Amino acid sequence: MRSVSRILRRDKFGPSGAGAWKFKTHSSVPRARDLCGAIGSSLPDSRCCTPGLDSCGWTGAEGFDGYRILHLSDTHLDCLPELAAVASRLITGIEVDLLALTGDIHGRQRAPLADSTGPLAELIGAVRVKDRHLAILGNHDPAAMAEALEDLGFKVLINESTVLSRGGEHIVVTGLDDVHRFFTSDALAALSRAAEGFRIALVHSAEVADYAAAAGYDLYLCGHTHGGQICLPGGRPIITHLLRCGYGSIGLWRDGNMIGYTNNGLGVGDIPLRFNSRGEISIITLRRSLRGE
């Protein structure tokens, strides 16, 4: 059940409280803004990619072998709605089992939610999802976004777990509320009380990856960093907005036996530009392996 106190906290400290929208920023932000001014705004390059997550050392739930997850994050389509049409062309006709949306659907504090959810509906309508639509909230999403996503057919997980069943077998998906700006102990409690089995954590940022690994999670999917959005040559992020677990700032990573993937995000922040960084939609395939392989 959704935490009422958590939702009220979003209402108090989220969009209605201007102070909550201030980031702890890196000192190089002015340089990034200068770079944007020098190059000019452009529609960010986007891609649909398949990360190297074909095996998670998974020894059970044979019925989920080949299970495909479309991982979408940081859409921010109110900031650049043209991205919805571009991304839709990339994923039209794709068939997956699960759509996992890891937060920051919204971008601008005062923009109507429909500016984000309208283009999102267009985007997700391009792909066929055989099983479930699961979502969590990010640090830019107000409390009302939960209901707006439910209207689009998502089950919104706020410090809770759900079980996906197939052929008498199951995997567990735990979704946390944003831990970057709205962290509470409920998030860690949700990680610790999930049922046994192959477990996937959906978290907006990598900032509790070590706790998830210690709790025995197998796969951790997140976003938040935009892959840096404006990066040095080679895709090295200048700014990640991570307060901890910096190893999870971009792409594929590990924490012990847990595999993590940080999606670059589809959209952009206040600066409508990507430099040495591509927006993405990821498709992850679960592959069962025999113990010892």
Q: What is the DSSP string of 163-198?
A: EEEETTEEEEEEE---SSSS--HHHHHHHHTPPSSE
Question: CA 14 from chain center: how many Å?
Answer: 19
Residue 100 lies in a domain: yes
Closest by CA to 23, choosing from 111, 93, 131, 109, is 109
Query: The CATH number of the domain where 123 resides is what?
Result: 3.60.21.10
Lowest mean pLDDT of 6-15, 37-46, 158-167, 256-265, name the range.
37-46
Query: Closest by alpha carbon to 160, among 201, 129, 209, 207?
Result: 201
Q: What total of structural domains would you count in the chain?
A: 1
Tell me the backbone φ, ψ of residue 89, rounded to 5 degrees.
-65, -30
Inform me whether the pLDDT recorded for 196 exceeds 70. yes
Q: What is the pLDDT of residue 58?
A: 55
- Whether 6 is in a domain gets the answer no
27 in a structural domain: no
- Spatial strand order of the sheet with 219-222 comes to 160-166, 169-175, 198-202, 219-222, 258-262, 251-255
Task: Say if 191 falls within a structural domain.
Answer: yes
Residue 16 is predicted with a pLDDT of 30
The reported pLDDT for the residue numbered 33 is: 24
Q: What range does the domain containing 132 cover?
A: 48-285
Q: CA-CA distance, 28 to 140, in Å (whole number)?
A: 22
User: What's the pTM value of the predicted model, to 2 decimals?
Assistant: 0.81
DSSP letter assigned to residue 15: T
Domain contains 121: yes
Strand partners, 244: none
In-domain check, residue 12: no
pLDDT tens digits for 213-266?
Answer: 999 999 999 999 888 777 788 878 788 788 888 888 888 999 999 999 999 998
Q: Per the domain annotation, does 233 fall within a domain?
A: yes
* Nearest in space to 249 (alpha carbons), one of 268, 270, 265: 265
* DSSP per-residue string spanning 100-145: EEES-----TTS-THHHHHHHHHHHTTSEEEEEEEEE--TT--THH
Higher pLDDT, 137 or 245: 137
- Residues facing 260 on adjacent strands: 220, 253
Token pair, residue 207, equals 């900032």
Strand residues in the chain grouped as ranges (E): 46-49, 68-72, 95-102, 128-136, 155-156, 160-166, 169-175, 198-202, 219-222, 231-232, 236-237, 251-255, 258-262, 279-285
Residue 13 lies in a domain: no
The confidence score (pLDDT) of residue 291 equals 52
